Homo-oligomer: A and B are copies of this chain.
Amino acid sequence: MVMSMNREMTIGQAAKSSAISAKMIRHYESIGLLPKAQRTESGYRLYDDNDVHTLRFIQRARSLGFPLETIRTLLALWRNRRRSSSHVKDLAERHIADLERKIAEMQSMVRSLKHLAHHCHGDDRPECPILDDLAG
C-alpha cells in the first residue's frame, strides 16, 4: 500500500523542506517532541518524507503560536485514531483565549502610551508628560 518514494535526506535538507532550522530539529529531538532520528554509520541524522510531514505539522502549529507542550499533545492526537475532536478543539480554544488575553494586555499598554505620547511635544525642551507619568 505504501506507494510513495522514501527519499532520505540529511538534517539540512529536512530543515529546508520544513522551514524549521536544523538547530531546532535537533532541539525538538532532544526534548522528545520528535523521536530519535535514524543515523548513518558516521552519525549523520537521516529523515524521510514522513519525518518531514511531522516537521511541517510542528512548523504550522508554531506559526499559529501553539507552545511546544501543546504541540506535543496535538501530535499525539494526530496519530491517535480514537481521538475526539473535542479534545483538539479545546486545546485550540484555550490557546485562542490565551492569545486574546495577551492582546488585550498589550492593547491597554498601547492606549496608555498613545495618550501619553499625544501630550508630549517631542521637541528640544525637557518637559515631558511621559516621564511625568512614569515618575508618578
Contacts and interface: CB of A to CB of B under 8 A. Distances in A.
Contacts of A65: 106, 109
Copies of this chain per assembly: 2
Interface residues of A, number: 53
B60 A136 contact: yes
A85 to B, nearest CB: 4
B121 A85 contact: yes
Given A110-B99, A126-B85, A117 B92 contact: yes
Interface string A92-136: 110110011011001101101110110011111111101101111
Q: Across the A-B interface, give the 10 residue pairs with the lowest CB-CB distance, nearest first.
A: A89-B122, A85-B128, A86-B122, A65-B109, A89-B120, A84-B124, A92-B117, A88-B128, A83-B126, A99-B106
